């Protein structure tokens, strides 16, 4: 059973996800333009390693949001770049927090950690948290062009997974801190100063909890697919996984629908799509669906994106 939330359209963070190549980026950019056109200060951000958002918008983008029009910003998060930056920061702090003889081992460990997928995804969550924290002071709405389905599910579940792990580290550090104080007392030393590592762990836990609640209470996921059997099967699995995680599902976007009056090869495809479209509406009808027709070319101009935005608006988005 899908999660029902009549306020989904008013949620401040909208994720667009789905199988690779179904048009998530185009839909995310179009929806962001729609929101900006309604007067909402809107940021569209890509977490997809493919980073085609800049191509769709015709702009050069990086980690820092850039204003493209009045009230409309965009950026692309480079997970590996953010991860390297975070690891370098941790390494600098470690030099002050650990004995000098341990620093080389710490640096070797951090070098290996910087290349691990878990570190990259954690860094993505950190950077996304930075942007979410600017709601509502800087933005009214944030639209996220997510990585393909599996990556998006891990990204959305990571705050909930990391929070208990951080809590465990806090408990271990507090126990170690208590032992250090006891030993210092036995040796006649005072060891009552603040613990920078413990402070950072507490800050990290607070940020993760804030992000987790924001994903649950303020976010909605729009799944995008094309009218084919394999994307539909993946979309059904993603919908169930998101529902199990407590994430709100919004209307589903069915992209590149062949025209019903097509002829020749395209007419054969339209007939094949008809049953898949019926199955999509049966499966996701309670969430709402919108169909975007197959276009003559890639909508990589503002005019093309505005046309799709009008379709979304007419569907009640």
Task: Find, among 125, 151, 141, 130, the residue nearest to 31 by Cα.
Answer: 141
CB 48 within 8 A of CB 148: yes
Q: How far apart are CA 202 and CA 215, in angstroms?
A: 20
Task: Find, among 209, 117, 196, 127, the residue nearest to 167 by Cα.
Answer: 209
CB 12 within 8 A of CB 134: no
Give the SS3 label for residue 116: coil
Give the SS3 label for residue 291: strand
Q: How far apart are CA 317 and CA 315, in angstroms?
A: 6
Per-residue pLDDT tens digits for 92-116: 655 555 556 655 655 665 565 555 5
3-state SS, 12-48, equals CEEEEEECCCCCHHHHHHHHHHHHHHCCCCEEEEECC
**In this structure, what token pair is assigned to residue 214?**
């924001």
**In this structure, what token pair is assigned to residue 289?**
């669906």
Round to the nearest angstrom and report the end-to-end CA distance of the chain. 22
The predicted structure's pLDDT at residue 122:
79
Range in 6-15, 64-73, 238-247 the model is least confident about: 6-15
The predicted structure's pLDDT at residue 224:
97
The predicted structure's pLDDT at residue 162:
60
The predicted structure's pLDDT at residue 168:
61
What ranges do the domains of the chain cover?
26-314
Which among 8-12, 68-72, 154-158 has the top mean pLDDT? 68-72
Per-residue pLDDT tens digits for 142-198: 999 998 887 777 777 766 666 665 566 556 655 665 555 554 554 455 555 556 656
CATH fold of 26-314 reads Rossmann fold (3.40.50)
Q: How far apart are CA 146 and CA 121, in angstroms?
A: 12
The predicted structure's pLDDT at residue 205:
74
Q: Which residues contact 10 (CB under 8 A, 6 or more apart)?
A: none
Q: Where are the alpha helices (DSSP H) in the chain?
A: 24-37, 53-57, 79-97, 103-114, 117-132, 149-186, 196-217, 229-244, 265-284, 302-314
β-bridge partners, 15: 144, 221
Q: What is the DSSP letter of 120?
A: H
């Amino acid at each position: 059973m899908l999660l029902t939330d009549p306020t989904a359209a008013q949620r401040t963070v909208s994720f667009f996800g789905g199988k690779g190549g179904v048009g998530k980026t185009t839909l995310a950019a179009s929806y962001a333009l729609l929101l900006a056109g309604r007067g909402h200060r809107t940021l569209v951000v890509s977490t997809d390693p493919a980073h085609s958002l800049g191509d769709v918008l015709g702009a050069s983008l990086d980690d820092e949001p850039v204003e493209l029009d009045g009230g409309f910003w965009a950026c692309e998060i480079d997970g590996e770049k953010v991860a390297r930056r975070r690891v370098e920061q941790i390494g600098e702090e470690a030099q002050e927090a650990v004995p000098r003889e341990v620093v080389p081992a710490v640096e070797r460990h951090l070098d290996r950690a910087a290349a691990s997928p878990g570190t990259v995804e954690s860094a993505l969550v950190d950077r996304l948290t930075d942007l979410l924290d600017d709601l509502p002071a800087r933005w009214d709405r944030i639209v996220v062009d997510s990585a393909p389905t599996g990556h998006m599910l891990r990204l959305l579940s990571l705050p909930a997974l990391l929070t208990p792990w951080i809590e465990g580290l806090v408990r271990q550090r507090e126990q170690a801190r208590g032992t250090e104080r006891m030993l210092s007392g036995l040796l006649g030393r005072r060891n009552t100063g603040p613990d920078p590592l413990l402070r950072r762990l507490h800050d990290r836990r607070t940020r993760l909890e804030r992000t987790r609640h924001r994903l649950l209470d303020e976010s909605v996921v729009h799944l995008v697919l094309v009218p084919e059997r394999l994307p539909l099967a993946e979309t059904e699995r993603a919908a169930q996984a998101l529902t199990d995680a407590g994430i709100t599902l919004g209307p589903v976007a069915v992209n590149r629908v062949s025209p019903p009056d097509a002829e020749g090869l395209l007419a054969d495809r339209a007939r094949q799509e008809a049953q898949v479209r019926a199955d999509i509406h049966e499966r996701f009808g309670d969430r709402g669906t919108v169909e975007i027709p197959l276009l003559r070319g890639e909508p990589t101009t503002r005019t093309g994106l505005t046309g799709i935005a009008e379709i979304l608006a007419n569907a009640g988005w």
